Amino acid sequence: KERLSVARDKISDKEYKMAYDILKDHRLNEGADYAEIEWHLGWIALSFTNQTEIALNHFLKMNAAVSYPISKARAAYWIGRTYKKLGQTSQANTWFRTGSQYGTTFYGQLSHKELDERRFSINNNFKFNEDRYEEFKKTNPLAKSVVILKELNRTKYSKDILRHLGDAEQNRTSEEISMAGILAQEIERLDFAIQIAKNASYKNLNFLEISFPRIEVPKQVKNQKILDSSVILALIRQESEFDTTANSTVGAKGLMQIMPATAKLLSKVTNIDFSREKLTRDKDYNLALGSYYISDLDDVFGSHYLAFAAYNAGPHRVEKWIKAYGDPRRKQIDAIDFIELIPFQETRNYVQRVSENINVYEYLNDPNNATNKIEKILYR
């Protein structure tokens, strides 16, 4: 981890050879750190030092070391991109097709875009039957206890029960996982439903209806036109998993994880009375301030992913990164390289997760006629 941190500082300073040399003697041969270092070695070789064959070797090593969909998609995309640079179109497309199987992920969506296929589809394992669900609630003792906890206003104690009911690790059927997620939604714990679905996603199982819930979002706050609901919902999913009462370790609050100091400023701008308590008690209040803020940032930066980075890390930091790495809006740097250059791992991950979420929400609007929106998110 320390080696990677030093190497990333060198990449930021444009000392690419030194960054490569720091990482290449890592002496690891498996695990998450090994995969991350091999990806970085490939990225430096491909994007900065023009050593395409060397890059390919590193990306292939990374691919062999990972198993989760987000990482498999990332490896496949970069292997495809490397073959593309080598002029080996057929090999490139094979890897882009592999990556595109992971349609809920950022790099899976980018892989699909490279294939130039109009139709965009995401594998969905959700399976639901109303009669069987009602039977499940009446006869399953654990499901019955979840219902009772809701009646007692003690839903927080149902988290482990619901996770057990929908645990993909225990080889639950698709229908069992779906019912556990729907039950979580019924007791108004959208966060528990998302967690059940995320757990299943590690096995490359998608339960889109429980993983990507919807709530009503404003179309306008004061004089600010609000971004599409798919963008706001994507952000909420990443920020709080739709938990109205969420509190972060740094003090961000509620549905859209707003810092009280930021909320105070936003209250002045929007003429909405400031209330620290309402940030975690009144979802509409939090939603109005948060959706106003992200929509305003989007206007300022003229870019979805730069606005997401600003929402997560602060606008001043994004301006600093644009100065340091080049302006992707002016084609001074590739948007994907810019995202990967963001020095905070949390913000890099955040931008990718929110971007991929938008595409899934857009897909769910019309699954039979869906198109891949990732390019619009990155290059509008």
The span from the CA of 344 to the CA of 321, in Å, is 11
The 10 Å CB-count burial string (b at 16+, else e) for 299-335 is eebebbbbbbbbbbbebebbeebbeebbebbeeebeb
Same topology between domain 2-114 and domain 220-379: no
Amino acid identity for residue 126 in this structure: F
**What is residue 196's predicted lDDT score, i.e. its pLDDT?**
98
- 366 φψ region: left (φ > 0), alpha (ψ -120 to 50), beta (else): beta
**What is residue 28's predicted lDDT score, i.e. its pLDDT?**
87
Question: Which residues, 6 or more positions from 159, have their beta carbon under 8 angstroms from its beta carbon?
Answer: 189, 192, 195
- Contact criterion met (CB below 8 Å) for 161 and 146: yes
Q: Mean pLDDT by 10-residue block, N- to C-terminus, for the chain (380 residues)?
A: 92 96 92 96 98 98 97 99 98 98 98 94 96 97 98 97 96 96 98 98 96 97 96 98 96 98 96 96 97 98 97 98 96 96 97 98 94 89
Of 104, 82, 51, 68, the closest CA to residue 359 belongs to 104
Amino acid identity for residue 157 in this structure: Y
Tokens 């429980």 locate to 210
The 10 Å CB-count burial string (b at 16+, else e) for 24-42 is eebeeeeeeebbbbbbbbb
The helix (H) or strand (E) run that includes residue 220 is strand 220-221
Q: Which CATH architecture describes the domain 2-114?
A: Alpha Horseshoe (1.25)
The helix (H) or strand (E) run that includes residue 192 is helix 190-201
**What is residue 379's predicted lDDT score, i.e. its pLDDT?**
84
Boundaries of every domain in the chain: 2-114, 130-205, 220-379
Of 63, 67, 45, the closest CA to residue 55 belongs to 45
CATH domain 220-379 topology: Lysozyme (1.10.530)
Neighbour tally for 374: CB within 10 Å: 21
